[in-house]
């Protein structure tokens, strides 16, 4: 039996590997530039011009790195595109990891080496910058995940647009009307926009209550200076990730569980 996630190709793809790599890099850079600038502005409204420019520059650089990495993996292992689900997961994980880890490394290095932030750095300001770096890394990871979703879906649609539809679509063509297909596509597009809006809203809320909420999760009602054994920049980053990473894993598991139940209910 043929896997429904595999494409049946009768001829070579019209788009070359070089063109495919170029489009992926260009798309990743554009998404990184725009999302980095917008989320940077929303993340810190007090210094919105500075953080917007910093976010745009960092998004541009990370978008370039992610685009090069994704394009290489795509051209080597997913050309032509046969395993769609595996490709979607691979690109989203890579994009989220590049964005999240990149911000996690860049943020503490930049804050600790910039005189405006590093001198003088009190324990309270060090914890504030550390928790801010953790939150920025989480938001960047979410943006990277959405960027990877955009790239993988674009490649899938590009493949379908070349006239090579998945085999499963041939069996479903007689049961799905054009109106229902249009409605489904419209729902997908609207859901993408809503997810980006939610990430922007999360970045906006972090500028007001993100540090306080993370401080509450790490130390409770106790003061951070007495809560952390050594209230410094990297100590607060480690403490923040110890709380944030399990929360992210729990949210992912809950979402996957709800999706599986929703699919079973529809079937």
Q: How many domains does the chain have?
A: 1
Report d(CA 36, CA 169) in Å as an integer. 37
For the chain, what is the mean pLDDT? 80
**ω before 200 within 30° of 0 (cis)?**
no
- pLDDT tens figures, 220-266: 888 877 888 776 888 888 989 999 999 888 988 888 888 787 776 66
Assess whether pLDDT exceeds 90 at residue 66. yes
Interval 111-124 mean pLDDT: 72
Position 99 in a domain:
yes
Position 153 in a domain:
yes
Burial of 162 (0-12, 13-18, 19+ CB in 10 A): middle
- pLDDT tens figures, 101-114: 999 999 888 877 77
Assess whether pLDDT exceeds 70 at residue 5. no
| C-alpha 174: how far from chain center | 36
Which residue do the tokens 């992610």 mark? 66
Helix, strand, or coil here: 121? coil
Position 181 in a domain:
no
Crossing angle (nearest 10°) for helices 233-266 and 211-219: 100
Position 9 in a domain:
no
Burial of 256 (0-12, 13-18, 19+ CB in 10 A): exposed
DSSP H helices in 81-122: 84-113, 115-118
The model carries a pTM of 0.78
Percentages (nearest 5) of helix, strand, coil residues in the chain? 80, 0, 20
Position 125 in a domain:
yes
Assess whether pLDDT exceeds 80 at residue 6. no
Provide the pLDDT for residue 207: 84
Interval 124-131 mean pLDDT: 84
- Per residue in 95-125, is it b (16+ CB within 10 Å) or e — as a string? bbbbbbebbbebbbebbbeeeebeeeeebee
User: Residue 79's domain spans which residues?
Assistant: 17-161+187-266
- pLDDT tens figures, 160-196: 765 444 433 343 343 344 454 444 444 444 556 788 8
Position 8 in a domain:
no
Between CA 243 and CA 158, with CA 259 as vertex, the angle to 5 degrees is 105
Position 180 in a domain:
no
DSSP annotation of 176: S
Report d(CA 28, CA 120) in Å as an integer. 37
CB 75 within 8 A of CB 105: no
Report d(CA 217, CA 207) in Å as an integer. 17
Structure tokens at 24: 């992926």
Assess whether pLDDT exceeds 50 at residue 25. yes
Position 173 in a domain:
no
Provide the pLDDT for residue 192: 64
Helix count and strand count (H, E) for the chain: 10, 0
């Amino acid at each position: 039996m043929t896997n429904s996630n595999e494409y049946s190709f009768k001829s070579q793809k019209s788009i070359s590997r070089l063109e495919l790599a170029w489009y992926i890099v260009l798309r990743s850079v554009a998404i990184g530039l725009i999302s980095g600038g917008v989320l940077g502005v929303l993340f810190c409204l007090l210094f919105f011009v500075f953080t917007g420019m910093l976010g745009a520059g960092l998004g541009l650089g990370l978008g370039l790195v992610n685009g090069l990495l994704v394009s290489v993996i795509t051209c080597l292992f997913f050309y032509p595109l046969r395993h769609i689900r595996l490709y979607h997961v691979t690109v989203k994980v890579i994009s989220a990891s590049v964005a999240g880890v990149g911000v996690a490394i860049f943020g503490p290095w930049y804050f600790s080496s910039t005189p405006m932030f590093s001198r003088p750095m009190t324990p309270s300001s060090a914890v504030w910058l550390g928790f801010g770096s953790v939150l920025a890394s989480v938001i960047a990871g979410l943006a990277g995940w959405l960027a990877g979703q955009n790239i993988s879906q674009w490649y899938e649609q590009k493949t379908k647009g070349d006239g090579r539809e998945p085999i499963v679509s041939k069996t479903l063509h007689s049961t799905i009307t054009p109106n229902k297909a249009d409605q489904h596509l419209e729902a997908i597009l609207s859901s993408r926009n809503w997810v980006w809006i939610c990430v922007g809203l999360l970045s906006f809320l972090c500028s007001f209550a993100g540090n306080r909420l993370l401080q509450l999760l790490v130390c409770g009602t106790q003061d951070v200076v007495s809560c952390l054994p050594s209230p410094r920049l990297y100590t607060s980053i480690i403490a923040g990730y110890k709380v944030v990473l399990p929360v992210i894993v729990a949210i992912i598991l809950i979402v996957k569980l709800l999706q599986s139940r929703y699919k079973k209910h529809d079937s």
